[in-house]
Amino acid sequence: MRKLIVLLWMLASLAGARDAQSESRACPMLLPTPGERYVVAISDLHFGLGRQGGAWNPTEDFRWSSALKGFLDRTSACGRQTVDLVIAGDAMELWQPPPEVKCAGANADTACTPSELLLLVKMVIKAHGSDFEALGSFADEGSNRVFFVPGNHDAGILLDSLWSEVQAAASSKTGRVLRCGGAAPRPCAPNGLWLSENGLVAIEHGHQIGSDVNAFSKWPEVLVDVEGQKYLERPWGEYFVQKLFNKEEAEYSIIDNLSPETAGARYRMADRGLWESIYDVARFLRFNVFETSLSQKLQTFGTPGGPSDVDVSQARARGYKLVSSALLPDDPLLKELNGNSPEALALRTELTRMIKNESSVEELSLLCSQIAIRSGGADTCGATFGAVFQQLLVPKQRVFAKHLNSRMKEPGAGGLRLFVYAHTHTLEEGWWVKTDKRPVQVFNTGAFQRVVSEPGFLRRAKAKGLAPAAALSKLTVESLAPCYTAVVVAMDPDTQLPNGRTVRWRMEEGGAGAFVAATDASCE
pLDDT tens digits for range 235-292? 887 877 777 667 777 788 898 898 877 777 777 766 666 555 677 777 777 766 655 5
Close Cβ partners of 412 (under 8 Å, ≥ 6 residues apart):
186, 195, 199
Close Cβ partners of 423 (under 8 Å, ≥ 6 residues apart):
43, 44, 89, 90, 151, 152, 205, 206, 207, 209, 212, 214, 444
Cα gap 312→51, rounded to integer Å? 51
Domain ranges of the chain: 29-245+400-524, 257-301+306-392
CB 325 within 8 A of CB 368: no
CA separation, residue 365 to residues 98, 263, 368, 469 (Å): 41, 22, 5, 31
CB 437 within 8 A of CB 409: no
Close Cβ partners of 445 (under 8 Å, ≥ 6 residues apart):
41, 42, 43, 44, 88, 420, 421, 422, 427, 485, 486, 487, 502
Q: How many CA within 13 A on the CB side of residue 336? A: 21
- Helix locations, 205-317, DSSP H: 236-248, 262-272, 278-301, 312-317
Residue 198's CB is within 10 A of a number of other CB atoms, namely 16
Residue ranges with strand state E in 186-252: 194-195, 201-203, 223-226, 229-232
Cα gap 62→49, rounded to integer Å? 9
Domain 29-245+400-524 has CATH 3.60.21.10: yes
Q: Is 502 helix (H, G, I), strand (E, B) or coil?
A: strand
pLDDT at position 10, please? 36
pLDDT at position 287, please? 67
What element of type H or E holds 132? helix 129-139
Cα gap 52→265, rounded to integer Å? 26
Cα gap 151→486, rounded to integer Å? 16
Close Cβ partners of 229 (under 8 Å, ≥ 6 residues apart):
106, 113
CB 166 within 8 A of CB 125: yes
pLDDT at position 149, please? 98
CB 87 within 8 A of CB 154: no
Which of 14, 515, 504 lies closest to 259, judged by CA? 504
- pTM value? 0.82
Residue ranges with strand state E in 79-226: 83-88, 145-149, 177-179, 194-195, 201-203, 223-226
Cα gap 410→199, rounded to integer Å? 10
- Phi/psi of residue 122, each to 5°? -65, -40
Helices 278-301 & 236-248 angle (0-180, nearest 10): 100
CB 487 within 8 A of CB 70: no
Q: Is 309 helix (H, G, I), strand (E, B) or coil?
A: coil
Digit-by-digit pLDDT tens for the chain (524 residues) are 434 433 333 333 334 333 433 444 588 777 777 778 999 999 999 999 999 888 999 899 999 999 999 999 999 999 999 999 999 999 999 999 999 999 999 998 999 999 999 999 999 999 999 999 999 999 999 999 999 999 999 999 999 999 999 999 999 999 999 999 988 888 999 999 999 999 999 999 999 998 787 899 999 999 999 999 999 999 887 877 777 667 777 788 898 898 877 777 777 766 666 555 677 777 777 766 655 544 443 333 333 333 346 788 999 999 999 988 888 787 767 877 888 888 889 889 999 999 999 888 877 877 887 787 777 777 877 654 443 333 444 467 888 999 999 999 999 999 999 999 999 898 999 999 999 999 999 999 999 999 999 899 999 999 999 988 889 889 999 999 999 999 999 998 888 899 999 999 999 999 999 999 999 999 98
User: How many residues are listed for the chain in this entry?
Assistant: 524
pLDDT tens digits for range 3-36? 443 333 333 333 433 343 344 458 877 777 777 8
What element of type H or E holds 503? strand 498-506
Helices 65-78 & 129-139 angle (0-180, nearest 10): 10
pLDDT at position 22, please? 40
